[in-house]
C-alpha cells in the first residue's frame, strides 16, 4: 500500500501482525491463506511457528514489524500490552511506521487508549483504528467473528478486504467507539454466562439430563452463542481456555471503570465481575470462562457430573 489511497490487496499491501495467541494465530492464518505477505512478531516465538511454517516472516520487535508493513494489526492481552507494542518509543510499532501507514488494534482494550493511539498516529501522518472482535476462539478459527471498528470511516472501509477474511465488519463511529461496542458486548455476555451456568445447575438439581436440557433450550428464547460455544465444553468438563478468565476479568474491570466515569449502575455486570474474580482467587484465571460453572458448584456444594 504505497499510497494511503491505494486499495488493499495481497499484491500491493504488506501486512504486519503482533500477538499470535489463541485469537491472533487463527486470524493471521486467514490472511496468509488469502495470499497476503505477513511479517509477524510474538513475544514467545514458538507460538508464531505455525504461521512461519505457512510462509510468514518473523520480526524481532513490533517496531521491526511496522518498518516492513503498510498495515499493522495487533491482538495482544491487556491495555498495558497494547501501549507497549504500539506506543513504546523504541520498540513500538508506531515509531517504525511510515506516514500513511495504519495501525489496527484488535485487542479488547480501553476506549481512551484507542483515542490516544489515534491521536499519536495522526501526529505522525499515520492512522489508527480500534477493531476488537467477538465470537471466541471458534469464531477466529472459522473466520466469522463480529468486528467492531472505530476511527476514520474511509480508512475502516479501505481495510475491509482484510477484515473480510476474519469476519463481519461493523463500523461503529469515531476512535474508541469500536472498544465501547465491545465493552457493551461483554456486559451482555457477562450476565448471559451467569444465566447459562445457573440454568445448568438448576436443571441438574431438578434431575434433568443436562445435555438434553441444553439441546432443548438451544432453539428457544434462551438459546445463545454462549450456549453454543460453551455449553458442551462445560458438560465435558473441558475448562481449557478458548477465552481466558483473566481476559474476561480485565474486560469487566474496564466496563466497571467506564460505568463509574458515566455515572451509571449496572448491577448484573458487577455481580458477574465478582463471580469471575472468585475464579482468579482460586488460581483459575488461566482457565476458560466456561469454568464459571465451578463457582456455582462450589457455592452449592454440587457437581454436574
Ligand atoms: N479468546 C477469545 O475468545 C477472545 C475473543 C475476543 C476477544 N479476545 C481478546 O483478544 C485478546 C487476545 O486474546 P487471546 O485469547 O488471543 O489471548 P492470548 O492467547 O494470551 O494471546 C495474546 C498474545 O499476545 C502476546 N502478547 C501479550 N502481551 C504482549 C506484550 N506486552 N508484548 C508482546 N506480545 C504480547 C502474547 O504473547 P505470549 O505468547 O508471549 O504470551 C500472546 O501471543 C485479549 O484482549 C482478549 O480479551 C479474546
pLDDT in tens, 53-106: 999 999 999 999 999 999 999 999 999 999 999 999 999 999 999 999 999 999
**Cα–ligand 1 centroid distance for 124 (angstroms):** 27
Statement to judge: residues 187 and 292 lie in one domain: yes
In a domain, 203, yes or no: yes
Which residue has the CA at smallest separation from atom 48 of ligand 1? 243
Domain final residue pick, 174, 191, 226 = 174
In a domain, 266, yes or no: yes
What does the pLDDT read at residue 4? 57
Cell of 172: 461503529
Which residue has the CA at smallest separation from atom 31 of ligand 1? 81
Which residue has the CA at smallest separation from atom 30 of ligand 1? 81
Statement to judge: residues 166 and 20 lie in one domain: yes
Statement to judge: residues 35 and 139 lie in one domain: yes
- DSSP state letters, 128-161: EEE--EESHHHHHHHT-EEEEEES-HHHHHHTHH
Is 257 a residue of the active site? no
What does the pLDDT read at residue 5? 64
Q: pLDDT at residue 47 above 50? A: yes
Pick from 22, 41, 77 the residue to mutate for probing ligand 1's pocket: most ligand atoms within 8 Å of its CB: 77
Which residue has the CA at smallest separation from atom 24 of ligand 1? 76
Q: Give the number of the atom of ligand 1 that is nearest the alpha carbon of residue 48.
A: 43
Statement to judge: residues 36 and 165 lie in one domain: yes
Q: Using alpha carbons only, what angle is made at residue 143 by residues 138 and 285, rounded to the nearest 5 degrees?
A: 35
Q: What phi and psi, each to the nearest 5 degrees, are found at residue 228?
A: -60, -40
Q: Please state the domain count of the chain.
A: 2
Q: Give the number of the atom of ligand 1 that is nearest the alpha carbon of residue 43.
A: 40
User: Among 75, 59, 74, 58, which Cα is nearest to 23's?
Assistant: 75
**Cα–ligand 1 centroid distance for 30 (angstroms):** 17
Q: pLDDT at residue 2 above 50? A: no
Per the listing, cell 445447575 goes with: 201
**Cα–ligand 1 centroid distance for 140 (angstroms):** 13
**Cα–ligand 1 centroid distance for 19 (angstroms):** 6
Statement to judge: residues 196 and 289 lie in one domain: yes
Average pLDDT over residues 144-170: 98
User: Among 84, 79, 85, 109, which Cα is nearest to 18's?
Assistant: 85
In a domain, 8, yes or no: no
**Cα–ligand 1 centroid distance for 22 (angstroms):** 7
Statement to judge: residues 272 and 170 lie in one domain: no
Domain final residue pick, 157, 174, 191 = 174
What does the pLDDT read at residue 6? 75
CATH number at residue 73: 3.40.50.720
Tell me, rounded to whole angstroms, the distance of Cα 275 from its chain centroid.
Answer: 21
Q: pLDDT at residue 7 above 90? A: no
- Catalytic hit among 141, 177, 182, 250: 182
User: Among 172, 178, 168, 117, which Cα is nearest to 145's?
Assistant: 168
Average pLDDT over residues 105-114: 98
Statement to judge: residues 163 and 230 lie in one domain: no
What does the pLDDT read at residue 99? 98
For 189-234, the pLDDT digits (tens) are 999 999 999 999 999 999 999 999 999 999 999 999 999 999 999 9
Statement to judge: residues 83 and 155 lie in one domain: yes
Statement to judge: residues 120 and 38 lie in one domain: yes
pLDDT, averaged across the chain: 97
Statement to judge: residues 102 and 245 lie in one domain: no
Ligand 1: residues within 6 Å at CB? 19-24, 42-44, 47, 75-77, 81, 84-85, 107-108, 133-134, 136-137, 242-244, 247, 251
- Percentage of the chain exceeding pLDDT 90: 97
CATH number at residue 280: 1.10.1040.10
> Is-contact 155 175, C-beta < 8 A?
no
Average pLDDT over residues 35-50: 97
Statement to judge: residues 118 and 255 lie in one domain: no
In a domain, 254, yes or no: yes
Average pLDDT over residues 22-36: 98
- Percentage of the chain exceeding pLDDT 70: 98
What does the pLDDT read at residue 66? 98
Instruction: For residue 12, count other CB atoms closer than 10 A to its CB.
Output: 12
Average pLDDT over residues 122-132: 98
List the domain range (segments joined by +) for residue 269: 181-300
- What whole-number distance in Å separates Cα of residue 74 and Cα of residue 138? 19
pTM: 0.96
Q: Which is higher by pLDDT, 4 or 94?
A: 94
Domain final residue pick, 134, 149, 174 = 174
Amino acid at each position: 500500500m504505497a499510497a494511503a489511497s491505494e486499495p488493499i490487496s495481497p499484491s500491493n499491501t504488506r501486512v504486519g501482525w503482533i500477538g499470535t495467541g489463541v485469537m491472533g494465530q487463527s486470524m493471521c492464518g486467514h490472511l496468509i491463506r488469502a495470499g497476503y505477505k505477513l511479517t509477524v512478531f510474538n513475544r514467545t516465538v514458538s507460538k508464531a511457528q505455525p504461521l512461519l511454517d505457512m510462509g510468514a516472516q518473523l520480526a524481532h520487535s513490533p517496531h521491526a514489524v511496522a518498518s516492513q508493513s503498510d498495515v499493522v494489526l495487533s491482538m495482544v492481552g491487556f491495555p498495558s500490552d497494547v501501549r507497549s507494542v504500539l506506543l513504546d518509543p523504541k520498540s513500538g510499532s508506531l515509531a517504525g511506521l511510515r506516514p500513511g501507514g495504519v495501525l489496527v488494534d484488535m485487542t479488547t482494550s480501553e476506549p481512551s487508549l484507542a483515542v490516544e493511539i489515534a491521536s499519536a498516529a495522526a501526529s505522525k501522518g499515520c492512522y489508527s483504528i480500534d477493531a476488537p472482535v467477538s465470537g471466541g476462539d471458534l469464531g477466529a478459527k472459522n473466520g466469522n467473528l463480529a468486528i467492531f471498528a472505530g476511527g476514520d470511516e474511509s480508512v475502516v472501509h479501505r481495510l475491509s478486504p482484510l477484515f473480510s477474511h476474519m469476519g463481519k465488519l461493523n463500523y461503529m463511529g469515531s476512535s474508541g467507539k469500536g472498544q465501547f461496542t465491545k465493552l457493551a458486548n461483554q456486559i451482555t455476555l457477562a450476565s448471559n454466562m451467569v444465566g447459562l451456568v445457573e440454568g445448568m445447575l438448576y436443571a441438574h438439581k431438578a434431575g434433568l439430563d443436562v445435555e438434553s436440557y441444553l439441546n432443548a433450550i438451544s432453539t428457544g428464547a434462551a438459546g445463545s452463542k454462549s450456549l453454543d460455544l460453551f455449553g458442551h465444553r462445560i458438560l465435558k468438563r473441558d475448562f481449557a481456555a478458548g477465552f481466558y478468565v483473566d481476559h474476561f476479568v480485565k474486560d469487566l474491570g474496564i466496563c466497571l471503570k467506564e460505568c463509574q466515569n458515566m455515572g451509571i449502575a449496572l448491577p448484573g455486570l458487577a455481580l458477574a465481575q465478582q463471580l469471575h474474580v472468585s475464579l482468579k482467587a482460586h488460581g483459575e484465571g488461566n482457565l476458560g470462562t466456561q469454568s464459571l460453572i465451578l463457582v456455582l458448584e462450589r457455592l452449592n456444594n454440587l457437581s454436574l457430573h
